[in-house]
Structure formats: C-alpha cells, structure tokens
Structure 1
C-alpha cells in the first residue's frame, strides 16, 4: 500500500515539492556559508519524493546552533515551502482519494519549517524513536 501511495504522491505533488526543495538547496550551496541548509534541503527533497513509510524525529544532541539555523531557515526559505505544502494539502484533500495524500503533505509542514536538528527515518525502525 505504501508503494502505491508513494507513486500516486510522486505524480500529483511529490515531484513539484521536491523540485522546490532542490532549488532551495542549490541556492544554499551557491552561498557557501549556507551549505548546511542546502544539505537539509536535499534531505527533505528526498522525503518529499517518497514520504509514506518515513517519519521525522528529533535528533538527540541538536543544540543551539540548530535552533539559530532554524530561525534563519524559516525567514528565508521555510515559510515558502510550508505554504506550498499547505496549499497542496488542501487541494489534495478536496477528493476522498486524495485525503491520505493531503495528510502526507501536512506531515511535511513541520520539517519544512524547522529542518535542522531533525532526522528522517523509516517508520519500521524502532530504534529511531528512542528507548521503550
């Protein structure tokens, strides 16, 4: 089921959202000081291409530098990308078949706003969620 949803997602929304992240990543790589933002952007682009079966968790040990970087990210790129996810999620939820895809789009909003200090993991990876 994940594969089917991922393929439908890729065709309807994933490709365009990943393209937006890739563009943001390329711009970040051109401005050499923002390379960490570019790396985060490319990581999220891969997540935006194939979101079903993956989730975002906080990375232990992310400190003040991640928090400061997230503030800079929100100002320059994060809110544009979050708006893209919001509008595509609303459009996808207009049909019954698109509701799971719209939820996936909404799931990407927090990581598009605050990408630093986060990790994208498989939902089957129990070790990523901390001790039980």
Structure 2
C-alpha cells in the first residue's frame, strides 16, 4: 500500500515539492556559510519525493546551533515551503482519494519549518516512535 501511495504522491505533488526543496538547497549552497541549510533541504527533498513509510524524529544531540539555524531557515525559506505544503494539502484533501496525500503533506510542514535537529527514519525502525 505504501508503494501505491508513494507513486500517486510522486505524480500529484511529490515531484513539485521536491523541486522546490532542491531550488532552496541550491540557493543555500551558493554561499559557503549556508551549506548546512542546503544539505538539510536536499534531505527533505528526498523525503518529499517518497514520504510514505518514513517519518522524522528529533535528534537528541541537536543543540543551540540547530535552534539558531532553524530560526534563520524559518525567516528565509521555511515559511515559503510550509505555505506550499499547506496549499497543496488543502487541494489534495478536496477529493476522497487525495485525503491520505493531503495528510502526508501536512506531515511535512514541521520539518519544512525547522529542518535542523531532525532525522528522517523508516517508520518500522524501533526509534521512529519518539
């Protein structure tokens, strides 16, 4: 079932959202100081391509640096990407078939707002429920 949902997701909105994350990552990689945000954006792009069967968990070793980085990310890129997830999620929830895809889009909002200090893991991993 996850495979079918991932294929439908990829066709309807996954490709577009992943391209938005890749664009944000490329913009972040232009300057040397913003490369960590670019790497985080590329990780989220892979998650946005194939979200079913994976989830995000907080990293216990993330400190004040990731908090500061998340604030900077939120100001420059996070809220734009979250807005894209909100609009796409609402559009997908209009149809019955699109409701699981809309919920998956809403699931991506927290990581699009604050990507640093989070890790993408398979849902069947023992630590995925934290």
Normalised by the size of structure 2, how large is the TM-score? Answer: 0.98
> Runs of 4 or more off by more than 4 Å in structure 1?
none
Partners of 1:99 and 1:126 in 2: CA distance: 27
Instruction: Report the counterpart of residue 81 of structure 2 in structure 1.
Output: 81
- Does residue 105 (structure 1) correspond to residue 105 (structure 2)? The answer is yes
- 1:6, distance to aligned residue in structure 2 (A): 0.1
Figure out how many residues of one structure are paired with residues of the other and give that number.
130
Deviations along 1:88-128, whole A, 9 cap, x unmatched?
A: 00000000000000000000000000000000000011134
2-structure distance, mates of 1:20, 1:122: 23
Residue aligning to 1:66: 66
Equivalences for 1:45-64 in 2 at 5 Å?
45-64=45-64
- CA separation in 2, counterparts of 1:129 and 1:36? 26
1:39 corresponding residue in structure 2: 39
Unpaired segments ≥5 residues, structure 1: none
Secondary structure of 1:55's counterpart equals strand
Which residue in the other structure is 1:126 paired with?
126
Give 1:129 deviation, angstroms.
4.1
**1:48-92, Cα deviation, whole Å (9 max, x unpaired):** 000000001001110000000000000000000000000000000
Q: Structure 2: any 5+ residue segments left out of the alignment?
A: none
> CA offset at residue 32 of structure 1?
1.1
Instruction: Establish whether residue 13 from structure 1 lines up as the match of residue 13 from structure 2.
Output: yes
**What secondary structure sits across from 2:96 in the alignment?**
coil
